[in-house]
Every structure is written in C-alpha cells, then in structure tokens.
Structure 1
Amino acid sequence: MDTRGGESTPQNTDLGKPVEFVYRPTAADFEEALRARARRSSAGRAQALMAPVMAAVAVSVFSVARDAPPVVWIISLVLAVPIAFWGTLRGLRTMARRMHSMVEPYGEARMVADERGSVTTGERASFSMHWVVFREYLETPGLFVLLGGDRAAGVAVLPKRGAQDAADIDRLRAILDRNLKRL
C-alpha cells in the first residue's frame, strides 16, 4: 500500500531485476559487430571510408602530377577504389578474427547486466564494466554492440542467442536504453 498520498501507480517490476545471457563468442559475432559499427557510427564510417578516399586522392594527385590522359585516370580510379573497399572489408574480417582470438580462450561466457553495468564470467576469467565505460550501443538482428566512449575504442559484443528466454532480450534493450545512447 502506498502511504505517500495520491494515486498508487504500478511499478515496473523488471527495473531492478538483472538479466542473464550465456553464450560462446564467435568470430562471426565480431565481424557482424564491426560491420554494423562501420555502417552506423560516425567513427566507423570514417574508418571504413578512409582507404577508398585516400586511394582516389592518391590516383588523382599522381595522374595530375604525371599529366596522365583522362582515360588512364578514370581506369585507375575504377580499379583503385574498389580494391580499397575490398581491402577495408578484409581488414574488418581480420580485426574480427583477432578480437575473437583474444576472447576464445576464456570459453563460454555468462553475462549478467543490471542498472549499474555488467559482469561477465568466462571459464577462465571474469570482468565487470559500469555503463559509463560505453557511450552508445547499436542493435543488429543477432547482437547488441556496445561502443566505447571518447577515451575508449572498445567494442563489446552481446549475442542475442545467449538470452535465457525471449523476454531477456527486451529487458536488456530497456537497460541499455536507460543507460546508453542508441544508434
């Protein structure tokens, strides 16, 4: 019974309740996270576009400096820019595999999140993070991707397949919405 006066309002009973995910991270998780970051965050887009833009600038400067005919200039651009995009995609895949190789030895992970942050326990290590470590998050069909703040370039990957039941995905989304900016 509410003794403060006025109307009694129903409380959100899930607000203080922690949510638990159990999963084994995969290289595909990290690749999906890095690709989503490259598409949806300004830092990710800048990183993904840097190589193609630099390739176009280099071809243009070299073509002007060497007084190349326009046909050579256009052919060089048509070849250089797609190769730079391909290199960027290969770089994301390589980065994802390296990130996975760093967490793979820890085995299956159990992540418990609440309003303060998350605690992740693996088979060989555990760590905790307060939400202030991250600035924003994005959601893909299979993941929640937490992105580091101004002074941290961290990326945390939380696969939705680790949810104990479908309601846990919604509860984690609500926790993240209250504590981080959604992209």
Structure 2
Amino acid sequence: MRQDMEGGATVEFGYRLTAADFREALWARARRSSAGRVQTFLAPLISLVAVVATLVFTGTRLTVGIITLVLGAAVISWGVVRRTRAMAHGMADFMEPYGQTRMVADDHGAALTGEQASSTVEWTVFREYLETPRIFVLLGNDRAVAFAVLPKRGARDGADVERLRAILDRNLKRR
C-alpha cells in the first residue's frame, strides 16, 4: 500500500478491459439500478403488453394467443440479450485504445493510464457503485453520464481489493 500526497491510502490495479467485463457490468446494472431495470425490462414489457392487446382486440383463439405470447417472449428476451452483448462489445471497442491499463485510486479519484490514452476522474462524477464477484461497477450521478468498470483481477492481491472497496465506500454510495 502506498500513501498519496495528503496521507490517504492509494491502491493500484492493472488490467485490460474485455467485452465480458462490460457484459457483466451491464447485467449487474440492470438488476440493481432503477435506470438499468427500466432500460432492460421496459421495452420487453411494453412489447408483451402490445402483443396481449393485439390478441385480445383481434379475437384470437386462446391457443394461438398462448403460442404467440411464448414466441414473443422468447424473441424479446433474445433481443435483450443480443442488445446487451452488442453494447458490451461496443464499450470494449471504445476502451481498446487504453490496452493494458494501470489504475491508481485514492480518496480523490482514479487516474487511468493506458498504452495509448489516459484519463483522470474524480469520485464526484459517480453517484454509487455496485460489486459483483469479479468487478466493481461505478455509476454516474444526475449531472453526468458516467459508467466505469474496475475488474478485481487487476489487483495484486485480496488486500488491494479490500483497499479499493474501502476507498469506494468512503466516497460513493454502495448499491
């Protein structure tokens, strides 16, 4: 563990973001945040309601209606999965210029240095974070569209994961 200039703990991770990281982050966001639930489940729900309304108002037979609903639900679910995969691949492609990334975090924010790009972000850009067994997902506040993925595999050891979790707990709301 290192100390930053004002005496607080810093933690360093090294990783290369993948589409699988973003896919996990998007599904975690969909399950745990209201914005994610709306984005993931509202369109399928509206589509199913439209199918039911169409079946009711056209006087379709019950068996045809049930088959249509089951097939409709399957197609809509497949579409949600495909859209999530496409978004994850798009995010991974966007982050590709970073390549192997070094992230150093302290109580002020995080500095990311990649092979061809770098950035610094303060924690105030984010409102909250959530955690899965493999990643931390940082979610933006009302003033900024922000979304960040920090893979735990980038830590040198479990103590670094604990230090990052402590930094996040001090600066963001845990969801």
TM-score (norm 2): 0.92
Structure 2 distance, partners of 1:90, 1:138, is: 23
Q: Is the 8 A contact 2:97 2:114 kept in 1?
A: no
Aligned: 1:28 with 2:14: no
- Per-residue deviation, 1:92: 0.5
Aligned: 1:57 with 2:49: yes
Aligned: 1:138 with 2:142: no
Aligned: 1:95 with 2:87: yes
Match of 2:31 in 1: 39
Match of 2:96 in 1: 104
Residue 98 of structure 1 aligns with an amino acid whose one-letter code is G
Match of 1:68 in 2: 60
User: Residue by residue, what CA displacement relative to the aligned partner does 1:30-52 show, whole Å, maximum 9, x if unpaired?
Assistant: 11111111111111111111232
- Unpaired segments ≥5 residues, structure 1: 1-12
- Per-residue deviation, 1:151: 3.2
Match of 1:168 among 160, 168, 174: 160
- Per-residue deviation, 1:76: 1.2
Match of 2:116 in 1: 124
Structure 2 CA distance for partners of 1:70 and 1:29, relative to 1, 3 Å:
same
User: Residue by residue, what CA displacement relative to the aligned partner does 1:137-162 show, whole Å, maximum 9, x if unpaired?
Assistant: 01111101101112333210101111
Calculate percent identity across the aligned residue pairs. Answer: 59
Residue 21 of structure 1 aligns with an amino acid whose one-letter code is F
Match of 2:105 in 1: 113
Structure 2 CA distance for partners of 1:153 and 1:86, relative to 1, 3 Å:
farther
Aligned: 1:148 with 2:154: no
Q: Is the 8 A contact 2:97 2:117 kept in 1?
A: no
User: Residue by residue, what CA displacement relative to the aligned partner does 1:118-171 show, whole Å, maximum 9, x if unpaired?
Assistant: 111111111111111011101111101101112333210101111122211000
Structure 2 distance, partners of 1:111, 1:31, is: 20
Q: Which moved more, 1:157-166 or 1:61-70?
A: 61-70
Residue 81 of structure 2 aligns with an amino acid whose one-letter code is L
Q: Which is higher, the Rg of structure 1 or of structure 2?
A: 1
- Alignment RMSD (CA, Å): 1.6
Residue 24 of structure 2 aligns with an amino acid whose one-letter code is E
Structure 2 distance, partners of 1:32, 1:56, is: 26
Structure 1 distance, partners of 2:145, 2:124, is: 13
Structure 1 distance, partners of 2:113, 2:144, is: 21
- Unpaired segments ≥5 residues, structure 2: none
